[in-house]
Structure 1
Amino acid sequence: MSGPAQPALPAGGLIEARDEEERAALIEAGRLLFARPCTFFTAAQGLDHLPPPEGIEVALAGRSNVGKSSLMNALTGQKALARVSVTPGRTKQLNFFRLDEGPLMLVDMPGYGYAKASKSVKEDWQGLMFDYLRGRPNLRRILLLMDSRIETKASDTAVMDLLDRAAVPFQLVLTKADSVKPAQLKARQAEIEALARKHPAGHPLVITTSSETGLGMPELRAELAALAA
């Protein structure tokens, strides 16, 4: 005799979950997805080095030092998957990570907005980023990371405008929430949610995270599980 039927995963992720049962199913799907080992797959410094567009890609973007590497390590439960650079603006390539030979590929994008980076590096990053965004058929979403502790910068807004132009859906993710007092965090969350609504490519659900405490990781995994499904 078979057990009770499992609820179908909402294709739109947590924002479309109709009840706690569907939400719980998404959270569990995310846990199972990221229980798999995640390994470095390849790196690309130009379009000619990109791997074939197979499976589903989700890219992580954000200002230099926003905590992309720490978030990826916390998301996958692997402490040294993505190296945390002590020099902001150092990463200049797209790094691809695959979940256990499965359909989901995580792409770590170069940071932006670092004042000491040379003009040529910033121009190369912007060119590679935009070419990758508009020409990658299997890229489903950008996770755009924003620091909970500091205000939105002009470079953040410029990247959101770029994503609108490239017609690539993006989801805002607040990082380092453990370093912010509750009242300040609540105000920052409201600001970011309003910002997401202003952009055609913006996802309405903002996820608040902490790589130190694990806050928001189940929800973020659930969102990616819905995409992978």
Structure 2
Amino acid sequence: MTLPPAAPLPAGGLAEAKLEEDRAALIEAGRLLFARPCTFFYASQSIDQLPPMRGPEIAFCGRSNVGKSSLLNALTGQKALARVSVTPGRTRQLNFFDLDEGRLTLVDMPGYGYAKASKTLKEDWQGLMFDFLRGRPTLRRVLLLMDARVETKPADRAAMELLADAAVAYQIVVTKVDDVKPPQLKKRLAEIDALVKKRTAAHPLVMVTSSEKGTGIPELRAELAGLAA
């Protein structure tokens, strides 16, 4: 039996072609998942008000105004799934969103580091966050958002410590990359990569996104689709 002539291989050979094929399949899986209906279904202001555990959950956390709501809207292709507030610290509860009838639950966590909130209130939300993180076996990963425009703040480092103490796997997602020039972005990513290498709980892959321009959104969808039921 004679095999048909092989098609010309792309640069890099068969292995590179296979990687590109796998990447395209993951991107498509992410697109299909986030094209499904996503709706708000629950809000919690205390640990005893959490909804029953069901499918896998992905939580979004970060400093106030880092772009959590905008990222959720961009991922789901909706303009107002999560409300975007101009007032730091406006979101003070855990908001749960159902994607594709339980295949994945997206959790919008309260922002941290907001200056206008009282010290007591900040401590309360840190308590809620920690109790949620360490007591939720359905929580597959936490996305820790960091702003591309500013350096890592003490509150970000504290959040990384809290995530590590709660024994939760987390992944850094850099937001608003369209607002910085390439040299500044390169410097910022190098700073974040150095942080990640020092922390065993941090996922080694840093995602780079822009909710405004759509940069990195297909790749992030693909990453999350791999964690879905």
TM score, norm. by length of structure 2: 0.91
| Residue 72 (structure 1) aligns with | 72
- Matches for 1:54-69 after TM superposition, within 5 Å: 54-69=54-69
Contact 2:54 2:102 in 1 (8 A): no
Contact 2:144 2:173 in 1 (8 A): yes
Contact 1:148 1:176 in 2 (8 A): yes
| Residue 101 (structure 1) aligns with | 101
Contact 2:30 2:224 in 1 (8 A): yes
Query: Which letter does structure 1 place at the counterpart of 2:174?
Result: L
Specify the structure having the higher radius of gyration (Cα). Answer: 2
Contact 1:92 1:121 in 2 (8 A): no
| Residue 34 (structure 2) aligns with | 34
Query: Which letter does structure 2 place at the counterpart of 1:80?
Result: A
Measure how far apart 1:62 and its partner are: 0.2
Superposition misfits of 4+ residues, deviation over 3 angstroms = none
| Residue 164 (structure 2) aligns with | 164
| Residue 15 (structure 1) aligns with | none
| Residue 20 (structure 1) aligns with | 20
Contact 1:196 1:204 in 2 (8 A): yes
| Residue 9 (structure 2) aligns with | none
Query: Which letter does structure 2 place at the counterpart of 1:78?
Result: Q
Gaps of 5+ in 1: 1-17
TM score, norm. by length of structure 1: 0.91
Measure how far apart 1:22 and its partner are: 1.3
Q: Distance in 2 between matches of 1:19 and 1:100?
A: 28
Measure how far apart 1:93 and its partner are: 0.4
Q: Secondary structure at the match of 1:150?
A: coil
Q: Distance in 1 between matches of 2:121 and 2:21?
A: 47
Query: Which letter does structure 1 place at the counterpart of 2:199?
Result: H
State the Cα deviation string for residues 27-47 of structure 1 (Å, max 9, x = none).
110000001011001000111
Q: Which stretch has the larger CA shift, 192-201 or 213-222?
A: 192-201
Q: Secondary structure at the match of 1:227?
A: coil
Q: Distance in 2 between matches of 1:23 and 1:171?
A: 19
Query: Which letter does structure 2 place at the counterpart of 1:148?
Result: A
Measure how far apart 1:69 and its partner are: 0.5
Q: Secondary structure at the match of 1:32?
A: helix
Q: CA RMSD in A?
A: 0.9
Q: Does 1:212 align with 2:219?
A: no
Contact 1:161 1:199 in 2 (8 A): no
Q: Secondary structure at the match of 1:48?
A: helix
